[in-house]
Structure 1
Amino acid sequence: MYLIKNGRIHVGDGTVLDGCDILTEGRVIRDIAPGICCQEAEVIDASGCEIFPGFIDPHSSVGAMGMPSRYLDNQEKTDPLTPQLNVKYAIDPDEIDAQEFYKSGITAVGLTPGNANVMGGQIAVCKTAHMKMADRLVKEKAALKCSVTSEVKSVYGGRNQMPKTRMGAFWIFQEALRKAKAPEEQEKGKLICEIFEKGSMPAFVAAQTAGEIQGVLEMMKTEHTSLVLVDGYEFDRALEEIKRQNAGLILGNVSDCSQVTKHGMDLGKICDLNENGNLVAFTASNGGFSEGREVFLWTAIEVYRAGADAEEVVKMMTLNPAKMLGVSDRIGTLETGKDADLSIYTGHPVKTYAARVRTSMINGEVVF
């Protein structure tokens, strides 16, 4: 049991609380109120500090990359359609632990298949602390990972196998959707139908260029699942289409501006999506491969510098990804009854690079 006193609390929904304390009990938040007293609790003095919900990277390959050998257990490159695969079985907890995400305030990640397949498998949500898988797994089968990026073409085209082109990738995607509606379809087709026709889970579709993004939006117009675009480096060139379909966006790593699709991107347009009600989040991954934990914060800072309100950016790091992954009932905001996942910063990490994590808590345990 911990009692965190004297800090400035950023709830994660845009609200900031001054003069309130946080009491945790077990793995959850028991109370948030002014002047809490509890003799049994260990007091953490957060004077002069900022308290945030645990940040969530909703699209991470760490845990399945097989570093340093990179055996890529989240890339089943034998069939472009593998929606039935569960990334939970690709996770190496030691690899997640080695990254120490919580030292940058990241307390949960959406572990995902890579970009090699048109439909690559199912995403799982996992805590980043050193603990048993049963304790760190928040939700399996949180979303279906899909891709229409150039990696699909490079994997299968190199074997002289469809898809060798973008039109081939889209045809395979559309044909899978069409066949899934047939009554004689077996397990794979029934799963695709459950997702796209009945909306049993959202679809996270990797699309980087304006052409890829517009193609995905057109293809998904008649489907009934929630659509989240991943990477989306040319989102600003398809802004109106994204707004019309209320698609979500997980913006990939923007710190490496050497790639053509990132150069010249208007990050200020993130504000337009946010004001329209589109869910926006960030990831430290790039093309399906995760990079350092700092990248997550760097992208947030760049969006803030482009004109977004700091608390709206915090929401993009907390509540929005929790909603995308269907876990906002447990994580994403600091509220009574939710998991006690939080970080205490020396400053506001969206406003300054100088802010540092002083304390990080996951499931009510101090992990840093």
Structure 2
Amino acid sequence: MLFIKNGYVLTMEGKVYEKASILIRDGKIQEIGEELVAPLDAVVIDAAGKIITPGLIDAHCHLGLWEDAIGFEGADGNEMTDPVTPHMRAIDAINPMDRTFEEARQGGITSVATGPGSGNVIGGQFAAIKTWGKRIDDMILQEPLAMKCAFGENPKRVYHDRKQSPSTRMGTAAILRDALYKAKEYSEKLEAAKEDPSKKPGFDMKMEALLPVIRKEIPLKAHAHRADDIFTAIRIAKELGVNITLEHCTEGHLIVEDLKKEGLYAIVGPSLSERSKYELKNLTFETAGILSKAGVKIAIMTDHPVIPLQYLPMCAALAVKAGMDETEALKAITIHAAEILGIDSRVGSIKEGKDADLVIWEGHPFELQSKAAYTIINGEVVHQQ
């Protein structure tokens, strides 16, 4: 049992406590209040003069799939031997022992969405995980979380060099459509087989992996930087009747009214990086704030290892510097990130019954010199300054 007292609590549930206590029992937040008394058997942390927030959430990264300070031996995020690999599962490649997990906890990041990269048209299955643990099976929040697909330069660059499709944006769209239509047909055959077993199709692992997408159980996590690629992603999602989240959305600020009408979520970033390719020519920290002010629900990402995960709060702070509302920026790495990922019943805010994932900060998390004095995951102190 853990009892945190005297903290300035930003719940991200619309309530701020000037000086409150939090009682944690069995890994869950049991009670929050200004007049709580510590049980005699509780471990007590005095958070006087400190700020308490929910654990931070990175809604798009590749934590554990590209290991730190190593090359090919630790690069397990892109199975670039086939443009369609929906049956790849992030949890089979994540190394929780990698040093970057510890750095994430030091930075106050307690949950992430991590998964394959954008080398393929369909890259595989993302997972939502906690950043504390030695065995990935014990760290999972939700798996599969989403199906990664990619538009724009990356898949065409990979396969153009091999003189195979896709070498154009048309090719990428066609391959994605083909896979989704086949999955839809596979799903229809499975349904028909319930009445007539003779109609059951032969087992196809790729199609099995795409069934949750076709059935709207998980979204496509669509890598799209440029405005035209964003519109192509939306077009295909509508055509096939599947759910989608817009990942990167680098030119989202140029088409903000269209995105508002579509009612989709955007996970913006990584903005703290160079314009390393043509589709990033309009990269700006203003994107997140412009979309947010227009009413588009957004999260902010690092795309780790593009930006090291521990700099997630800095990315949000730079969005504030570029015009984003401070509270909305904090939501973009807590409750809004959780809602977009569909894991908000457990994480993203300080609320009774939720997982006890908290950070006790020496200053505001957006202050450059602020440090996480304590990071708590599932009610356990996993980092102490």
Distance 1:35 1:56 in 2: 29
Quote how far apart the aligned CAs of 1:192 are: 2.9
Quote how far apart the aligned CAs of 1:297 are: 1.9
Aligned to 2:95: 92
Given that residues 203 and 228 in structure 1 are in contact (C-alpha distance below 8 angstroms), is that contact kept between their aligned partners in structure 2? yes
Q: Tell me, yes or no, if structure 1 residue 218 matches structure 2 residue 218.
A: no
1:18 counterpart SS class: strand
Of the candidates 283, 288, 298, which is equivalent to residue 280 of structure 1?
Answer: 298
Quote how far apart the aligned CAs of 1:355 are: 1.7
Distance 2:42 2:317 in 1: 35
Aligned to 2:197: none
Of the candidates 337, 344, 356, which is equivalent to residue 340 of structure 1?
Answer: 356
Distance 1:313 1:84 in 2: 34
Distance 2:348 2:54 in 1: 6
Paired amino acid for 1:94: M
**1:37-52 alignment, distance < 5 Å:** 37=37, 38-52=39-53
Aligned to 2:193: none
Quote how far apart the aligned CAs of 1:115 are: 0.4
Quote how far apart the aligned CAs of 1:26 are: 2.2
2:296 counterpart SS class: coil
Q: Which moved more, 1:108-117 or 1:316-325?
A: 316-325
**1:309-328 alignment, distance < 5 Å:** 309-328=325-344
Distance 2:261 2:102 in 1: 38
Of the candidates 172, 177, 190, which is equivalent to residue 175 of structure 2?
Answer: 172
Q: Which moved more, 1:36-45 or 1:14-23?
A: 14-23
1:274 counterpart SS class: helix
Change (3 A) 1:276 1:13: farther
Number of aligned pairs? 364
Q: Tell me, yes or no, if structure 1 residue 122 matches structure 2 residue 140.
A: no
2:19 counterpart SS class: coil
Structure 2, unaligned stretches of length 5 or more?
190-200
Of the candidates 165, 190, 199, which is equivalent to residue 216 of structure 2?
Answer: 199
* Aligned-residue RMSD, C-alpha: 2.1
Quote how far apart the aligned CAs of 1:199 are: 0.6
Query: What do the CA deviations read for 1:226-255 (whole angstroms, capped 9, x no partner)?
Result: 321112211112222221222211112212
1:221 counterpart SS class: helix
Given that residues 217 and 241 in structure 1 are in contact (C-alpha distance below 8 angstroms), is that contact kept between their aligned partners in structure 2? no
How many percent identity over aligned positions? 31
Quote how far apart the aligned CAs of 1:96 are: 5.5
Paired amino acid for 2:250: Y
Distance 1:59 1:272 in 2: 20
Structure 1, unaligned stretches of length 5 or more?
none
Distance 1:223 1:242 in 2: 19
Distance 1:261 1:299 in 2: 20
Given that residues 251 and 287 in structure 2 are in contact (C-alpha distance below 8 angstroms), is that contact kept between their aligned partners in structure 1? no
Paired amino acid for 2:45: I
Given that residues 114 and 129 in structure 2 are in contact (C-alpha distance below 8 angstroms), is that contact kept between their aligned partners in structure 1? yes
**1:1-368 alignment, distance < 5 Å:** 1-37=1-37, 38-67=39-68, 68-71=70-73, 72-95=75-98, 99-182=102-185, 183=188, 187=204, 188-189=206-207, 191-196=209-214, 198-259=215-276, 261-262=279-280, 264-265=282-283, 267-285=285-303, 289-350=305-366, 352-368=367-383
Quote how far apart the aligned CAs of 1:107 are: 0.6
Distance 1:262 1:147 in 2: 15
Normalising by structure 2, we get a TM-score of: 0.88
1:29 counterpart SS class: strand
Distance 2:26 2:319 in 1: 35
Given that residues 232 and 250 in structure 1 are in contact (C-alpha distance below 8 angstroms), is that contact kept between their aligned partners in structure 2? yes
Distance 1:14 1:223 in 2: 37
Paired amino acid for 1:344: I
Quote how far apart the aligned CAs of 1:66 are: 3.5
